[in-house]
Amino acid sequence: MSTAPQDSQNTLSGAGAQAESIPPAQAPTPRPSPRKPNSLALWVRDLLVSAAASVLIITFLYQPVRVEGTSMLPRLEDRDRLFINKFAYHIEAIERGDIVVFHYPRDPEKSYIKRVIALPGDRIRIDRGVVWLNGKRLHESYVPSQYRDTRSMPEMVVPPDCYFMMGDHRSISSDSREFGPVERSLIYGKAVFVYWPAKDAGVLR
């Protein structure tokens, strides 16, 4: 079976069919390049977002404070800077050993930072510097021997919604031994982290 030679031109078969010329392919129209964002505008936006986030965190969660005095030596020194968690006690209970910040009962304009020693309903007495809690001696590793004192206090029961506070530097601390247990409503933060000076940075326990 032989094949007929092909014409050099394209043909269409069928009655009335017409050949149409095909225009040459056109190059796509170039799209305008996307507009580059202004670097200053981005910087300002990021700054505003960061500032807003910082305000929210400080207002509702963490607040930086500065220690004044030495009643919490050896862990906290005068002028140490730390963060307190203002939200913690909305979701968890205050526990013995927590370091807390509260309004001074005799002058709410002042703030004190002390350690929680006894909870509501606890029986506490102090015998020549040794703390007895619910009939058992309280072992306080956070009070080195050089910071102890020999003061005594007769047994008392901590009232409801109140907490007995003491400083770790017992020989100089003004605390619940003088102004009594602190009402829950005066406690507004849990000390959680020292951030300055860098040598003392770390979680508070």
pLDDT of residue 36: 58
Catalytic one among 50, 114, 173, 174? 114
71 is catalytic: yes
What is the C-alpha separation between 188 and 100, in angstroms, rounded?
A: 8
pTM over 0.75: no
Domain residue ranges in the chain:
65-203
Residue of 117, 115, 137, 112 whose CA lies nearest to 127 = 137
Catalytic one among 2, 13, 71, 110? 71
Task: For residue range 4-13, list pLDDT tens digits in order.
Answer: 334 433 332 3
> What's the topology of domain 65-203?
Umud Fragment, subunit A (2.10.109)
DSSP secondary structure string for all residues of 20-33 = -PPPPPPPPPPPPP
Task: For residue range 43-65, list pLDDT tens digits in order.
Answer: 888 788 877 766 666 656 889 99
190 is catalytic: no
CB atoms within 10 A of CB 31: 6
What is the C-alpha separation between 35 and 126, in angstroms, rounded?
A: 74
Do the Cβ atoms of 126 and 176 come closer than 8 Å?
no
* Residue whose tokens read 């770790």: 168
Residue of 178, 124, 122, 172 whose CA lies nearest to 149 = 172
Residue of 115, 113, 107, 104 whose CA lies nearest to 182 = 104
Task: For residue range 60-97, list pLDDT tens digits in order.
Answer: 688 999 999 999 999 999 999 999 999 999 999 999 99
Whole-number average pLDDT of the chain: 84
